[in-house]
Amino acid sequence: MEALHVNLGENSYDIKFAANFEELAASMMEIGAPKKLLIVTDTNVEKLYAEEVESLLCYAGYDAKVYAFQAGEENKNMDTVLGICGACISHKLDRKSMIVALGGGVVGDMAGFAAAIYMRGIRFVQVPTTLLSQSDSSVGGKTGIDFAGSKNILGAFHQPKLVYINVDTLKTLPPEQFVSGMGEVIKHGIIRNPDFFAFLRDNAENVKSLDTDTLIYMAKINCGIKANVVEKDEKESGLRAILNFGHTIGHAVESAYSFEKTHGACVGLGMIGASYIAFKRGLITEAQLKEIEEVLELYGFECRVKLPDNETVWNFMQKDKKKLKGKLKFVLPVAIGEVMQTTKVTKDEVFAAFEYIGL
């Protein structure tokens, strides 16, 4: 079985890559999982995979129960986390018990947050079932909820003890969610690994047709890039912020569209905007800018959209929670595979980027 080790001292863990759930129980045994497990999922993923995962864990001798909350980002709140904690109490989870997060990013973030606070912290395992969660949110220990109109504003760093990626679950993912997840995958190539970016360019058909070997290879290289950044800067005091490439403009576009476009679609636009700023500054060539757009296009991204007026999107950008001393932080490519961080991008440069991605 393909695996990758995330080296974070006493918070280290393995990421396993598979095309089914068959080795989940054995992987749980390897990490010394206790008998009592709570599988936390949402009402969408419950219908698809909860029974299979519950029965294979119970068959292996675990006392596993499923708790499903109502699916949707609008339920990523404290009430839902308290519901999960209530289920921990009902299922008599103790300090040694574990939560298994089965689902997409909303499930992983909330199950992880519940695990971070229940009895002052219990262990948890990520079993991500969407491309966004398999490529980004399940790795790195960020957990949390939305509050007072801000996404992920409350939370905790709480690393999982295992991430078990079953790429076969991508077969049930709606196509726009697959594209959304590819935004983070392509981002990882641009920020850190030119060979991976070239692989994505040259293997788009195999990726899009969900060829198992291609997906496992992609997942492993992708998670390796993210894990390497997290290993160097677990709590985001410097380097980890490069993972926000495309997000400064992307989050504002997401808000301007009232979250009607997927996260990845907006990050794709944000990456084009940031790359355009980099091109205008002479940091990358026009050919590199076009290459970034071409790869996004290959995977079905809209590279030009009708944006609301510039001031509206700019105002949403001012609410970015990742501002540094009141200044917007930008991640700009300096090559395919390398980026720089700056707080010195001007309003004019940002408006020119809006014009570039706007119709």
Q: CA 67 to CA 111: how far, in whole Å?
A: 10
Question: Looking at 135-143, 151-159, 249-257, 339-347, which segment touches ligand GLY (CB under 6 A)?
Answer: 135-143
CB 244 to ligand GLY: min, Å:
7
CB 120 to ligand GLY: min, Å:
23
CB 129 to ligand GLY: min, Å:
17
CB 240 to ligand GLY: min, Å:
5
Q: Which is nearer to ligand GLY, 83 or 183 (CB)?
A: 183
Length of the chain: 359
- DSSP string covering 273-306, please? HHHHHHHHTTSS-HHHHHHHHHHHHHTT--S-B-
Q: Which is nearer to ligand GLY, 108 or 273 (CB)?
A: 108
Q: Which one of 225, 243, 267, 298 is in contact with ligand GLY (CB under 6 A)?
A: 243
Binding mask 87-126 for ligand GLY (x = CB under 6 A): ----------------------------------------
The two structure tokens encoding residue 132: 């966004």
- Name the β-bridge partners of 165: 17
CB 140 to ligand GLY: min, Å:
4
Measured at the CA of 248, the angle between CA 242 and CA 253, to 5 degrees, comes to 140
Q: CA 153 to CA 180: how far, in whole Å?
A: 22
CB 79 to ligand GLY: min, Å:
24
Q: Which of residues 322-351 bind ligand GLY (CB under 6 A)?
A: none
- Per CB under 6 A, does 136 bind ligand GLY? yes
CB 243 to ligand GLY: min, Å:
4
Q: Which is nearer to ligand GLY, 248 or 288 (CB)?
A: 248
Q: Which is nearer to ligand GLY, 136 or 146 (CB)?
A: 136
The two structure tokens encoding residue 45: 């993923």
Q: CA 42 to CA 147: how far, in whole Å?
A: 19
3-state SS, 304-327, equals CECCCCHHHHHHHHCCCCCCECCE
- Per CB under 6 A, does 190 bind ligand GLY? no
Alpha helices in 173-309 (DSSP H): 175-192, 194-202, 204-208, 212-232, 247-256, 263-280, 286-298
The residue behind tokens 């700019």 is 314
Q: What is the dihedral of CA 267, 19, 106, 7, to 10 degrees?
A: -80
The two structure tokens encoding residue 290: 């076009």
357 touches 305 (CB < 8 A): yes
Q: Which one of 240, 251, 261, 263 is in contact with ligand GLY (CB under 6 A)?
A: 240
Binding mask 137-166 for ligand GLY (x = CB under 6 A): ---x-x------------------------
- Per CB under 6 A, does 267 bind ligand GLY? no
CB 226 to ligand GLY: min, Å:
7
**Number of residues binding to ligand GLY, judged by CB under 6 A:** 6
Q: CA 263 to CA 250: how far, in whole Å?
A: 8
Instruction: Look at strands 36-42 and 330-335 and give their pairing.
Output: unpaired
CB 142 to ligand GLY: min, Å:
5
Q: Which is nearer to ligand GLY, 140 or 183 (CB)?
A: 140
Q: Which residues here bind ligand GLY, judged by CB under 6 A? A: 136, 140, 142, 236, 240, 243
